[in-house]
Amino acid sequence: MSDCELKSTSDWPPAIEVLNEHGASDIVLICEHASNYIPASFDRLGLSPSELDRHIAWDLGASEVARGLSKRLNAICFLGTYSRLLIDLNRPLNSPTSIPQRSEDTEIPGNIAITDADRSTRIARIFEPFQARIAAHLDARAESMRSTMLVAIHSFTPVFLGGGRPWHAGILFERSKDLGAHMITDLALDPELIVGANVPYVIDRMEDYAIPVHGDERGHPAVLVEIRQDLIASEAGIAIWVEKLVSALADPPEASFNCRPGSIHHVT
């Protein structure tokens, strides 16, 4: 694909979808991996259509959960509109996985040896508008002295590179130990659930963007919610998890808790 084709293509929608822009909640929802859309000019980055239905292209079920939460909480929600394979909205631009050449066990042909112009186009059309829109909203909230709690919604696969994952959900955080522990404690009231702190990933400033940049650096309580995909693969499952998270986000305590990375809270 030539640089000319990159500039002339007409199938580039806005980089961000904003729901409930004037929502009254203190909560700001972000769902970076809400879409598997890739403009036709990229020829699916050399992948088959079935590959784009996998987790490598987006977080299955995450968009639906975020939309449900936005409605139930009366909260603004920011959703990405492009596949993470073009450029990952939850990665710093200097991260090796910002534009992945390989995801899980799959090589991404269209991302191998991309040109500087191609990379710059993806940054300018997808990454920068998405982050700027969220930053502008957070700036406006700060100027109006409005409280803010940042919650990013993601999903994860039950099996990763052949290894099973026992958790039904994970709550990830760096500085917001109190909020993270409060949510884990509430979710773990369900005796059927295994809920982990900082699983199946940890917040890493080389591999995460929303929580460190939009949350911690601004001084906002900020957590990333990971839900196992098989639990939100149906409308019923999505509705259940929307309600679980509404409960977990209610009345966060002032006290600070200390959850060790990788610790598991399992009520039996």
pLDDT digits (tens, 9 = 90+) for 215-229: 999 999 999 999 999
With b for 16 or more beta-carbon neighbours within 10 A and e for fewer, the 139-160 pattern comes to eebeeeeeebbbbbbbbbbeee
pLDDT tens column, 118-141: 999 999 999 999 999 999 999 999
Q: What does the pLDDT read at residue 253? A: 64
The dihedrals phi and psi of 111, each to the nearest 5 degrees, come to -105, 0
Mean pLDDT of the 145-165 span:
94
pLDDT at residue 205 greater than cutoff 80: yes
Please give the share of the chain, as a percent, with pLDDT higher than 70. 91
The model carries a pTM of 0.92
**Which domains, from first to last, does the chain contain?**
3-266 (3.40.630.40)
Amino acid letter, 91? R
Secondary-structure percent of the chain, ordered helix, strand, coil, rounded to 5: 35, 20, 45
CA distance 107 to 111: 9
Alpha-carbon dihedral angle through residues 40, 42, 45, 50, given to the nearest 10 degrees: 0
- Give bridge partners of residue 18 from the DSSP assignment: 78
Average the pLDDT over 184-208 and give the result: 96
Nearest to 32 by CA among 207, 193, 196, 241: 207
Locate the DSSP E strands across 11-166: 16-19, 27-31, 76-80, 102-103, 106-107, 149-156, 159-160, 163-164
- Banded pLDDT at 6 (limits 50, 70, 90): very low
pLDDT at 266 over 70: no
Average of per-residue pLDDT across 19-47: 97
